Amino acid sequence: MSGLDGVIAAETALSDVDGEAGRLVIRGRSLDELVAHCRYEDVLTLLWTTLFPESDGEKPLAGELGAARVRVFEYVRTADAQVLALAPVDALRALVARLEDGTDFTTALRLVAAPAVFTPAVIRRARGLDAIPPDPGLSHAADVLRMLQGNAPDLEQVAALDRYLVSASDHGLNASTFAARVIASTHAGLTSAMVGALCALKGPLHGGAPGPVLDMLDAIGQPDEAKPWLEAALARGERLMGFGHRIYRVRDPRADAIKVGLEELGRAGRLDPGRLHLAEAVERTALALLSRHRPERSLQTNLEFYTALLLEALGFPRQAFTCVFAAGRAGGWIAHAREQMLRGRLIRPLSRYVGPRCSEAA
């Protein structure tokens, strides 16, 4: 029961995670198919099918999402300087918390647009640069990169970010999605659900892992330093970031999807080959050491390991990786929150009391 391991806590028609086969299916379509053919807004259209009166699954949401990015940028213009100076994920949490709460389609679109617009704005502010307003005519991923870089991204960069956002869009009842569903089950509103989800995502055991993956690669430095460094970390009782998963007993299929994106960036000359070479050596060594460290538990590469390299190659600073994760997962959080509101009940489990009993009155 610890950590609700193995407990089914919700029914969903959104995504299915098969931990034994290493398969992720979103609305009946495999991750492989989605990353090969879909932009983020296409997966959003798929995820939100029938959850709002405005989303029938046929009408693409790209135009509405672009317009929502423009509307949400107004909140950047009026943002408190102290909030913008916070660490990126804390700034994102505070900026999202300022948005109106509600359960409707407009609120939902605003919440998906928010991390896509706020993240580049916060990063640019930390670099002493002005935020760039959205261009509603661009695809979601292209606009995020343009707002970050200040110029038009190339096609390979856009494809790589789309691949990441699609891979991160939904993943069963992970900790942040569960947090969103618990909040939504009280009918508190989608903004409240998303703020709670962001708080859960932030932790290094969940969406906070990819920044520390880069710290680990930097500390290792050279492929032949991987073994002694990783052995020492395990001997200190540390967890290796980017490895292990509650559900997967085989390699996380999202890790492969992201690796393909890295290889495409490499062919386009957008990735330092030495960085990928180091990461591959660290992965090989970590997997060998983890199988000896915990032979009874299959600890494999998860989404976050190659995500770190991909987001670095796209120009995101490691402090903001969790915000980019939120930009992808927002679509799934909102879908789950709506599904919970429409079809679920108040989530209210029991706890087993293990404290002292009242002494009987004398």
Q: Which of 209, 258, 271, 334 is the binder for ligand ACO (CB under 6 A)?
A: 209
In a 3-state reduction of DSSP, which class is residue 243? strand
In a 3-state reduction of DSSP, which class is residue 219? helix
Q: Which of 246, 275, 284, 318 is the binder for ligand ACO (CB under 6 A)?
A: 246
> Is position 264 annotated as part of the catalytic site?
no
Neighbours of 227 (CB within 10 A): 17
Question: Shortest gap between Cβ of 341 and ligand ACO (angstroms)?
Answer: 24
Q: How far is CA 262 from CA 4, 38, 215, 244, in A?
A: 34, 17, 19, 21
Nearer to ligand ACO, 239 or 251 (CB): 239
Question: Shortest gap between Cβ of 274 and ligand ACO (angstroms)?
Answer: 23
Nearer to ligand ACO, 79 or 311 (CB): 311
CA distance 277 to 289: 18
Question: Shortest gap between Cβ of 300 and ligand ACO (angstroms)?
Answer: 9
Q: Where are the beta strands (DSSP E) in the chain?
A: 15-18, 23-26, 29-30
Backbone conformation region of residue 27, classed left if phi is above 0, alpha if psi is from -120 to 50, else beta:
left
Rounded to the nearest 5 degrees, what angle is found at the Cα of 214, between the Cα atoms of 255 and 154?
A: 65
CA distance 159 to 266: 13
| Count of residues that interact with ligand ACO, criterion CB under 6 A | 19
Name every residue whose Cβ is closer than 8 Å to that of residue 266 and which is 6 or more positions away in sequence: 273, 276
> Is position 304 annotated as part of the catalytic site?
yes
Q: Report the site for ligand ACO in 66-125 (rule: CB under 6 A).
A: none
Contact code string over 275-314 relative to ligand ACO, x by CB under 6 A: -------------------x--x-x--xxx----------
The H or E element spanning position 121 is helix 105-126
Residue nearest to ligand ACO (CB): 244
From 41, 245, 283, 339, active-site residue: 245
Stretch that binds ligand ACO, among 12-20, 104-112, 122-130, 235-243 (CB under 6 A): 235-243
Contact code string over 189-208 relative to ligand ACO, x by CB under 6 A: ----------------xxx-
Question: Shortest gap between Cβ of 163 and ligand ACO (angstroms)?
Answer: 15
Q: How far is CA 217 from CA 139, 204, 213, 232, 308, in A?
A: 32, 16, 6, 14, 10
Nearer to ligand ACO, 2 or 78 (CB): 2
242 forms part of the interface with ligand ACO (CB under 6 A): yes
249 forms part of the interface with ligand ACO (CB under 6 A): no
Neighbours of 280 (CB within 10 A): 15
Nearer to ligand ACO, 66 or 207 (CB): 207
Binding site for ligand ACO (CB under 6 A): 3, 205-207, 209, 239-246, 294, 297, 299, 302-304
What residues are labeled active site? 245, 304
